[in-house]
Amino acid sequence: MSTKDAPARTTRTLAGEQPRILVIQAPYYADVVGGMLAGARGVLEGVGASLDVVDVAGAFEMPAALRMALGATERWDGFLMLGCVVKGETDHYDFICASVCQGAMTVASEYGAPLGFGLLTVATLDQAIARSRPDQHNKGAEAAHAVLGQVTLARRWHFSHWARR
């Protein structure tokens, strides 16, 4: 599927109180991640969600930040990770991408944490820019739709092991 064929997404209606979402972002590529955050913000604020945004040093730190947030006294209904890794000339890209993806999946699965995963793993900065523009291809907006879907499931199944209630 090319980026021209991105599916249209509709904003969900959530039962219950408005969700509180923690955004964990790695703003190394500030313009790209800022564009993704703007896309996510549009989706989340469209359903009345409140957002808390924290910065981490880089993509590698995002899974550990998620784990720390799950153990915090403050509670969120869902989590959103936003970042970008651009392929360079070394193997660093492969190790970082694999580690972040596996780390995020491990933490979210272990704790049943609703997670929208918006980590761009691209060959060029131009590819990242194309995926952070304010249009239907914005990957931050897509990740926001994903976390809202997960929050909906958690509420449907009354799963609140870690969530604020």
> pLDDT 10s digit of each residue in the chain, 165 long?
454 566 666 666 677 889 999 999 999 999 999 999 999 999 999 999 999 999 999 999 999 999 999 999 999 999 999 999 999 998 999 999 999 999 999 999 999 999 999 999 999 999 999 999 999 999 999 999 999 999 999 999 887 655 543
CA 114 centroid distance within chain:
10
Q: Would you state the pLDDT for residue 22?
A: 98
Cβ(130)–Cβ(30) under 8 Å? Answer: no
Task: Give me the domains of the chain, ranges plus CATH numbers.
Answer: 22-154 (3.40.50.960)
Active site residue 92: yes
- Single pTM value for the model: 0.90
Cα gap 42→27, rounded to integer Å: 18
| Active-site hit among 92, 137, 145, 158 | 92
Cα gap 113→150, rounded to integer Å: 8
